[in-house]
């Protein structure tokens, strides 16, 4: 039982770190793109939101896998 709790904690922690790094990269490129070409702000914003949504899918999947490992 302790191994399941440990595995779930590791999975959730690594997913949170990965999502934080991914969000930072997406937003830094978004700001860089606006600085280079301000007139493309609308298109870049839409693409940044899609990118953030895809990056945030990782922790949601990790929570599901973590819960499966925890209750097994």
Please report, in angstroms and rounded to a whole number, the separation of the first and last CA atoms in the chain: 8
What's residue 37's pLDDT?
94
What's residue 67's pLDDT?
85
1-71: CATH topology: F1FO ATP Synthase (1.20.20)
Residues contacting 43, CB < 8 A, separation 6+: none
Say how many C-beta atoms besides its own lie within 10 A of residue 58's C-beta: 15
What's residue 41's pLDDT?
94
Which tokens sit at 68? 């499966």
Residues of the chain with pLDDT under 50: none
Residue among 70, 68, 72 nearest 6 (CA): 70
Residue spans of the domains in the chain: they are: 1-71
């Amino acid at each position: 039982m302790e191994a399941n709790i440990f595995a779930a904690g590791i999975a959730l922690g690594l997913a949170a770190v990965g999502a934080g790094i991914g969000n930072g990269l997406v937003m830094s490129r978004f700001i860089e793109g606006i600085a280079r070409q301000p007139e493309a702000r609308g298109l870049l914003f839409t693409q940044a939101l899609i990118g953030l949504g895809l990056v945030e899918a990782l922790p949601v999947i990790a929570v599901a896998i973590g819960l499966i490992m925890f209750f097994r």
